[in-house]
Every structure is written in C-alpha cells, then in structure tokens.
Amino acid sequence: MVPTFKEIEAWIADIPDPEIPVITIKDLGILRGVDYANGNYQITITPTYTACPAMKLIEDQIMENLSAKGIGNVKVNLTYTPAWTTDWISEDAREKLRKYGIAPPQHSSCIKTMGGRMPDPHCPRCNAANTSLISRFGSTACKAFYQCNNCKETFEQFKCH
C-alpha cells in the first residue's frame, strides 16, 4: 500500500514545536507540503526564525514518525521563500498559546496601523491591555518577557515576526 500525501501529512502534522509543545508544526503553519520526487517523499518546511535550533529536532521527528510507518525514503527540504511570519499561526494555535500562558503574536497588519510600533500584548491571564515589557528576550530568542500591570502576572510573548 502506497500512502497518500494526505496520510503522510497526517502522520507528521501533530509534531509539536520543540520550544512550545502545546502547538504543532501544522498550527505554526511551517509544514508547507508533501510531494514525491526522485524516489523520495519530499517534505517542505519553512523555518520560523532562521537561527532556531528547533528545526533540526523537527526534521529528526519527521524522519522518526515516517520511519515508524515503514517509510524510509524521506527528504526534508527547507524553503525560505515566502518567508514565514507569525501571521501563519492559526487562530486555534493562538488560543492554545493563551491557555498555555504565552501571549500570541500580534498580526503584522495590526503593527502597520500602529505606524510600525509594536502594540503591547494583552495579558494571557486576565486579558488586560496594560502590560509592560520586562525583557526583549524570554526563555528563547523567539519570545519576549512581559508583566501585566493589572494582575501582576509575568508572561512570555511569542514575538511578532
């Protein structure tokens, strides 16, 4: 039985982001496609942040998931065009981030309306807009660290990109 592209996609779609395990590579929008060429299944991924070391872990996990299904001829291709932006993160995933205590990134259109200035994220706990930036870098370079001025909760924000 030759698996369909849809099946292949389903077997790898739930791979969690190594840095934020509540969201998957499908949620992030980085799983771009499955194809077959030159005797290999070609999986196309667009990396989130170019320097993110998580990409290698994701690639290994794809190989592992497919090898568990008896598929060994797999090639993971990285594509940088069009460049990934946080706008590709699904609405479901934004909700998952909030529940996990991470403020989701703003949409880039929202930043354009603010004249290029990044609006402060809402608190994922009480939804107050009154939050202060503590540090541009949280536990990883992809996140910033904030405190809510309302409930005093400290939280991370997945930076807009």
Rounded Cα gap, residues 95 and 134, in angstroms: 23
Residue that the structure tokens 């791979």 belong to:
15
Q: Are 88 and 30 in contact (CB under 8 A)?
A: yes
Q: CB of 35: closest distance to Zn ion in angstroms?
A: 45
Binding-site member from 26, 32, 107, 125 for Zn ion (CB under 5 A): 125
Binding to Zn ion by CB under 5 A, coded x per residue (else -) over 16-45, reads ------------------------------
Q: CB of 153: closest distance to Zn ion in angstroms?
A: 5
The secondary structure element, H or E, covering residue 111 is: helix 108-113
- Strands 131-135 and 143-148, how do they pair? antiparallel
Q: How many CA atoms lie within 13 A of 104 on its CB side?
A: 23
Residue 102 contacts Zn ion per CB under 5 A: no
Binding-site member from 40, 42, 65, 150 for Zn ion (CB under 5 A): 150
- Applying CB under 5 A, the residues found at the interface with Zn ion are 123, 125-126, 128, 148, 150-151, 153
